Amino acid sequence: MVFLPQEVILKKRNGEKLPKEDIARFIAGFAEGTVSQAQAAAFAMAVYFQDMSMDERVALTLAMRDSGTVLDWSDLDGPVADKHSTGGVGDNVSLMLAPILAAIGIYVPMISGRGLGHTGGTLDKFDSIPGYQTQPDNALFRKAVEEAGCAIIGQTADLAPADKTLYAIRDVTGTVESISLITASILSKKLAAGLGALVLDVKTGSGAFMPTLEASRDLAKSLVDVANGAGLRTGALITDMNQPLASAAGNGLEMRNAVEFLTGKHQDRRLREVTLALSAEIALMTGMAETSASARKKVEDALDSGKATEHFSRMVSELGGPADFVERMDKYLQSAPIVRDVLALGRGTIAEINTRGVGMAVVALGGGRATPTDTIDHRVGFDRLLGFGAEVEPNTPIARIHAADEATAADAEARLRSAYFVGSGAPKFALIADRITATE
């Protein structure tokens, strides 16, 4: 019988549950060009309003995975795992987590993305390293994983290509926020990467795409249940994004922050806790540790012994970056021409931070994209960002700005000051708000 994509759209528009065969044929047709972009847009809008059952979400995720190559790491001598964050400000966890896991014998072929809206992108951070290839061919990707134990790269053209095109359509049709479509988009790429285990860092708060704990929990449960339903062992932590996670926000500055973290020169307390908690989850899921306590000790030792730094340095070198990047970071990371303190205007305690506003200040400096074709300035952003509970007086620095020119510096300073609220007390948010497993 001839497949008619409009019938699939009508069924979903009318609230019917789609058979997995219909979903598979629709996505395959979209990848092959027999389903038009207009039909894909109509399908996305129907899903946005009518949602999908768990079985439909699993079917959509698998169909998008199967639209391209699925990697196979069965020849490696250890477990293969990854982590995904839903995005935040000052969230450079991946830069430390991948080499920490590599140092305890877990291979990490990490497929990452670029910045979206107010959130920073892992690939944009690595683009601040001269020579580092964020889009290597599969042969180099595999070699880097084998030699360094980890490799952080971007989505290649043959990994879940239907997702890449469908996401572009969702971006311009007002359907990005659908949990069903978000779930399939995230997980199709992770499944295509050939993982054995996955931990999700689902953000909540003023700097997250899901600002409420309830919405973050709904997304986390969808991701965990669909991933496990598709055969990928997955768990999630819901972590706080009511303030920047690191004390730096901006691509090159977050890279510097990560190297200082790995070498022990400077470690933001909240960043250390989230990084080690996520790393320990993977150690447990892959069987590299038997208890939470032993998992935590194992990943702490990998970090504090310097082994993780060695794997990070090897990864950078394998993917084309300088072999001495860690040792001579100042030589390779470009500095902005304007560097100065941003001063507080009042007296009191940092009581609230509009973290999205901090992220948008980085975008205004040129450290993010206002349009998809914008070029990133890896030099700009903020470091020495204060967090909740910091006591300030007039002219106390709340951050240090790195800017390309006076005009963008003045604009970003004003944005940052308006994102910080000084009061008489600091709020208390749980850093790790919840832990989601497939059995919940």
User: Is 209 domain-assigned?
Assistant: yes
Mark whether 309 and 345 lie in a shared domain. no
Mark whether 13 and 144 lie in a shared domain. no
- Could you say which of 82, 124, 127, 268 is catalytic? 82
Mark whether 274 and 214 lie in a shared domain. yes
- Could you say which of 12, 170, 217, 314 is catalytic? 170
Active site residue 279: no
Mark whether 260 and 371 lie in a shared domain. no
- Could you say which of 84, 125, 296, 311 is catalytic? 84
Model pTM? 0.91
Q: How many domains, in total, are found in the chain?
A: 3
- Could you say which of 122, 180, 309, 317 is catalytic? 122
Q: What are phi and psi of 108, to 5 degrees?
A: -130, 90
Mark whether 320 and 349 lie in a shared domain. no
Q: What are phi and psi of 79, to 5 degrees?
A: -70, 155
Active site residue 189: yes
Domain with 354, as residue range(s), is: 335-423
Mark whether 259 and 344 lie in a shared domain. no
pLDDT tens by residue, 373-400: 678 899 999 999 999 999 999 999 999 9
- Cβ neighbours, 10 Å, residue 199: 27
Mark whether 147 and 274 lie in a shared domain. yes
Question: Which residues pair with residue 349 across a beta bridge?
Answer: 391, 423
- Could you say which of 25, 83, 125, 164 is catalytic? 83
Mark whether 180 and 94 lie in a shared domain. yes
Active site residue 265: no
Identity of the residue numbered 404: A
- Could you say which of 114, 189, 296, 298 is catalytic? 189
Q: What are phi and psi of 84, to 5 degrees?
A: -135, 135
pLDDT tens by residue, 80-137: 999 999 888 999 999 999 999 999 999 999 988 776 667 668 889 999 999 999 999 8
State the Cα angle at 424 between 420 and 428, rounded to 5°. 75
User: Is 266 domain-assigned?
Assistant: yes
Active site residue 190: yes
Q: Is 131 left (phi over 0), alpha (psi -120 to 50) or beta?
A: left
Are 349 and 425 in contact by the 8 Å Cβ rule? The answer is: yes
User: Is 14 domain-assigned?
Assistant: yes
Active site residue 83: yes
User: Is 68 domain-assigned?
Assistant: no
Active site residue 298: no
Active site residue 216: no
Active site residue 82: yes
Active site residue 84: yes
CATH number of the domain within which 299 lies: 3.40.1030.10
Q: What are phi and psi of 80, to 5 degrees?
A: -120, 125
* Continuous H helices in 238-364: 251-263, 269-285, 292-304, 307-318, 329-332, 355-362
pLDDT tens by residue, 329-375: 999 999 999 999 999 988 999 999 999 999 999 999 999 876 666 78
